[in-house]
Structure 1
Amino acid sequence: MDVLEGDDRLSSLPDDLIHKIQSFLKITDAIGNSVLSPRWRYIWTSMPYITFSTEDFTTLREFSKLVTHVLSRRNNLTEVHKVKLSFRGKASQVFVKRIMNYAISHNVQQLNVVCLHEKDIELPLYLFSSQTLKHLSLTMQSGKPHMHIVCSHCITPTSTWELPALTTLVLHSVTLCDNKADKCIDIFLECVNLKNLTLKRFKTNGSDGFSISHPRLSNLTLENGSFNVKDVNVVAPQLENLTIRAGGIEHIMISAPALVSLLYSGYGSFHLSTDGVRLKE
């Protein structure tokens, strides 16, 4: 079929499809597309997907201005389905708080956060108090430009997270227990609907073990745990799949009568104690 001169098939697409296309672009590029035609002028303001990254700017001041521009001009009647934030600096920065508050107030369902830093940071409770969040991913990465390896520093939660709708949680480089600071918090306690939990490069300070106790957890993955994590205690009556890869874990106590699959790969000795486990062949 011949395409008529001036025919703009892209602009004839429905809004949700254009939003999906725009979601793969930097937010600055999505805004820049507003000059393509009158149809595109304001369409970025109703996108349910928002991606911010400080790595696209030479200074945090410039990035903060962009955040203000985007959030102040966005259609406030449109909910936010997914937010991706990659930032360097402290979690207490104004733009971090503003993005989190905006996402939570607009019923965000999926939140992916990458912290680019070269030292441990703390994530306070006020950043995570959503009633609608279903998927949360937190990653600590090296703050040096163009280095995308996970560093030895960690995210340290300062209190239990109250996320009643959360079903999937992925934590990359997190301190689960900090006894040196008299902190050993069960951060998953109030995530009552949590079903899928993945912990990568997790560690504890002042303790060689930790416990995971959750009534609805069905899938648990532990990867590359710190060498100081020797003992893990899992109490999960609905747990079906448990995966442990590498790390220095020597002993794991499982109370999971519904367990179907256990996958372990690593080195050194490994001792398993079970309570009511019935693995299927």
Structure 2
Amino acid sequence: MNSPEMVSTSPKTQCRRVDNGSEDRISCLPDSILCQILSVLPTKDAVATSILSPRWKHAWTSVRNLCFDDELSVMGDEVSGITVAAFEKFVHSVLARTHPSSVEKFSLRCSYLRSLGMFDYWVSSAISRNVREIEIDLRDHERIPLPASIYRSITLEVLRLRSYFALTLPPDGVCFPRLKTFHLMLQQPTNHLPHNLFSRCPCLQHLSLTVYFTAANPASNLIISSATLKTFVLEVMYCSHSSAPNQHTVTIVAPNLEFLDITDDLAVSYAVHQLPSLHKAVYYVMFSEWPPIDRRPPVQLLAGMTKTKCLTLSAGVLHALNRRGDNIFPQFSALTYLHVTVGQFGCTMLPTILGCSPNLHTFVLHLSDWYVLNDEQTRWTDTATVPSCLSDHVNIIEINGLGKENSHMRLAEYLLNHSRVLLTMTVRCKPSVDGKTLENLHHRLMGLHRGCASAFIHLTRWVTWP
């Protein structure tokens, strides 16, 4: 077998011929292009290219993305392949041998961290190289403090903390002066921390926050206040429903917020100031069947979303609203797009919700496959007053998850019959619907009266069940 043969190149690059005689074109690329290619690889793979040839020996030292993951090194409680110590040595070696003054991304996923000082050194090293993005996941480690240098970084724009950390904010002044995107997990947070943190981030635009409460938590009011925030994703987790958890409150003050996504199990109450810039809101409630939970939070939160143009509600939200027994729903005058999921309960809220959305144009109804929608839940279709949005504005309707149940067909009939300006109704049946059932459903749909005679009905089977 012939050894690689060097061919004439420019002084800065060297091409070679591989064993089959063809030219190694990748090695002919400029250093800057090789660096971009290596930067999209995990760092361990980028370093491994150093054995390919002299041309590649030092190419990896210019990568701008440093991504470390010990997942392949440690399997459970046993060490596989390289040891934990070897992984730490590898990170140290890479940080010592790479030389770009500007690091684009530093990512660390680590299950076994033996030294807090070592962790500080790794992160501080990235900060000293003007890193733009940091992502850290220490998995099951106890909360450890972040290096003090991270709070004052003038280049950090993206920070994703995918495990719990102990945050020790500087006593005064700005925190994270250039940070735009922040993913944070808080465990049993104190009152002052969120307010002191987010209100001191002058450039924050995108916030993703997971908050974990326990029954031992004292009552708290978490204030999310930011004049620059545009998107906010909040997940509230509560460990037990053995006692009523609504002692906690989340206050949102974000006048420029455009997108709000909240997942909650009704563990907190809400105080939402008017959000005049809100364009899209998603509200997902888990565990709405727990009896000790107060049903006020959904109304509190929805009352702060009334300026939105697009709204998505889970079956849990409708279930919680329905259990109040008063069918209260705020007025959504600006709403043009509504996506609602209906489960075993909550379907009786539909006429109220539609009635409070007078300018609605697109209505998406998702029929959950987790529970059977009984006939009692759809009896309102015979007597309810027709919402004005159906007769005046709704021109697109989607029904997802249609089955052969009579309750499903009654909902489709109600919407098709009362939508006077409807252009298109798209109906997607459950994937479990066989060919014969699909044909029968098509025949039934085509036989229904249409409020708009020219409305087009498209029936298909849902290939991918979400």
Give the TM-score of the pair, scaled to structure 1: 0.80
| Aligned equivalents of 1:271, 1:190: Cα separation in 2 | 30
Residue of structure 1 in register with 2:158 after alignment: 135
**Which consecutive unaligned segments of at least 5 residues does structure 1 have?**
141-153
- Counterparts of 2:204 and 2:188, CA distance in 1: 17
User: Matches of 1:189 and 1:10 in 2, distance apart?
Assistant: 48
Report the 3-state secondary structure (helix = DSSP H, G, I; strand = E; otherwise coil) of the residue aligned with 2:237: coil
Task: Indicate conservation of the 8 Å contact 1:130/1:163, yes or no.
Answer: yes
Aligned pairs for 1:1-281 within 5 A: 5-57=21-73, 58=79, 59-75=83-99, 77-89=100-112, 93-123=116-146, 125-140=148-163, 154-159=164-169, 162-171=175-184, 173-175=185-187, 177-178=189-190, 186-203=196-213, 205-226=217-238, 230-255=248-273, 256-267=275-286, 268=288, 269=295, 270-272=298-300, 274=303, 278-279=307-308, 280-281=334-335
Change (3 A) 1:245 1:125: same
Q: Which residue of 1 aligns with 2:450?
A: none
TM-score (norm 2): 0.50
Distance 2:268 2:121 in 1: 43
Which structure has greater strand proportion?
Answer: 1
The 8 Å contact of residues 232 and 249 in structure 1, kept in 2 or not, is answered as no
- If asked which structure has higher relative contact order (CA below 8 Å, sep 6+), I would say 1
Instruction: Check whether the contact 1:67–1:95 (CA below 8 A) recurs between aligned residues.
Output: no
**Partner residue in 2 for 1:143:** none
Determine which structure has the larger helix proportion and give its number: 2
Q: Distance in 1 between matches of 2:203 and 2:70?
A: 32
Which ranges of structure 2 fall in alignment gaps of 5 or more residues?
1-17, 74-78, 240-244, 289-294, 309-333, 336-466
Q: Residues 90 and 175 (structure 1 numbering): CA distance in 2 closer, same or farther, change over 3 Å?
A: farther
How many residue pairs get matched?
262
Residues 127, 149 of structure 2: 8 Å contact kept: no
Instruction: Show CA shifts across 1:149-197 (max 9, x none).
Output: xxxxx333222682111111112x3236236xx9676322321100010
CA distance in 2, matches of 1:135, 1:184: 18
Contact 1:90 1:121 in 2 (8 A): no
Alpha-carbon distance change, 90 to 8 in structure 1, aligned in 2, over 3 angstroms: closer
Deviation at 1:126, TM superposition (A): 3.5
